[in-house]
Chains A and B, each alone.
Chain A
Amino acid sequence: NAGVMQNPRHLVRRRGQEARLRCSPMKGHSHVYWYRQLPEEGLKFMVYLQKENIIDESGMPKERFSAEFPKEGPSILRIQQVVRGDSAAYFCASSPADRGALNTEAFFGQGTRLTVV
C-alpha cells in the first residue's frame, strides 16, 4: 500500500506564474489536508477536503489560493500569481474514510518544496 504521494517534490516558479501541487492520498483514504510549513513556524493548516467537498478552508489565504479534491484523480492545491512569500514546503496528509474516532492519525506525504524566484 503506497503512502501519500505528492508531486512534484520540488517546484520553482517565477513571480506571477501559477503553481499546481498534487496529492494522491493513501488507498482507502477520502480525507485530505493541506499544510504549509515555513521556517520557525511549524505546520499551518490550510484546507481540509473530502471527495468533491471543501470541509474547512479557514487556513487558506483569501486570494490566489484554491484547492480541490475531485471524484477522480489527486487533490490539487493551486496558487495563482505566486509571490516570493509563497516559498515554503507544502504538505498533504490523508486519513481513512471512517474518521469518527478522533484518535485517527493523519498520514503525511513528503511534501512539495516551492521556491518562487
Chain B
Amino acid sequence: AQSVTQLGSHVSVSEGALVLLRCNYSSSVPPYLFWYVQYPNQGLQLLLKYTSAATLVKGINGFEAEFKKSETSFHLTKPSAHMSDAAEYFCAVNQAGTALIFGKGTTLSVSS
C-alpha cells in the first residue's frame, strides 16, 4: 500500500526565512503526489501536484516542491515565509482505484 510520512508535526520559522516541509512517500509504482494547505476552520486547498512532467513543481503562493525518486521525497519549500503562510500543510499520494492518502500534516508557524 502507498503511504506518505511527514517529518515534523510542527515547524516554526521567522518571517522572511526559508520554509521547508518534508514529505517522504512509499510506493512500488510511480506515485502521484500532492500538497494541500488548510487554514483554521477551513477545508483543504491544493497547493501543487506532481504530474511527472517535471520534477520541480511550482504552486500557488510562491510554494514549490521537488520530486526526488532516489530519495522518495517530495519536500515543499518557499524561499521567504510570510505571516499569511501560517497553516497546516498536508502531503498526499494518489492510490490507484481509490482516494488520496494523506500524511499526518505539518503545522507551520511564522513569527515576526
On whether the two chains bind one another, the answer is yes
Query: Which of A38-68 touch B at CB < 8 Å?
Result: 40-45, 48, 55-56, 58
Q: Which residues of B contact A48 (CB under 8 A)?
A: 98-99
How far does the Cβ of B4 sit from chain A's closest Cβ, in whole Å?
9
Q: Which residues of A contact B61 (CB under 8 A)?
A: none
Contact yes or no, B9 A43, CB < 8 A: no
Contact yes or no, A42 B98, CB < 8 A: no
Contact yes or no, A108 B34, CB < 8 A: no
- Known A-B contacts A42-B105, A103-B49, A103-B51; A108 and B99 likewise in contact (beta carbons under 8 Å): no
How far, in whole Å, are A2 and B49 apart by their CA atoms in the complex?
Answer: 22
Contact yes or no, B51 A55, CB < 8 A: no
Number of interface residues of A (CB under 8 A): 25
Contact yes or no, A103 B9, CB < 8 A: no
Task: Report the interface size class on chain B.
Answer: 20 to 34
Contact yes or no, A42 B99, CB < 8 A: no
* Interface: B52 (CB within 8 A): yes
How far does the Cβ of B79 sit from chain A's closest Cβ, in whole Å?
24
* Interface: A25 (CB within 8 A): no
- Known A-B contacts A91-B43, A108-B43; A42 and B90 likewise in contact (beta carbons under 8 Å): yes
Q: Which residues of A contact B46 (CB under 8 A)?
A: 105, 107
Instruction: Tell me which of A35, A40, A111 contacts B9 (CB under 8 A).
Output: A40
Q: Which residues of A contact B96 (CB under 8 A)?
A: 102
CB nearest neighbor in A for B44: A108
Instruction: Tell me which of B45, B52, B102 contacts A42 (CB under 8 A).
Output: B102
How far does the Cβ of B28 sit from chain A's closest Cβ, in whole Å?
14
* Interface: B100 (CB within 8 A): yes
CB nearest neighbor in A for B46: A105
Instruction: Tell me which of B9, B34, B98 contacts A105 (CB under 8 A).
Output: B34
Q: Which residues of A contact B100 (CB under 8 A)?
A: 33, 45, 93, 105-106
B residues with CB within 8 A of A: 9, 32, 34, 36, 41-46, 49-52, 90, 94, 96-105
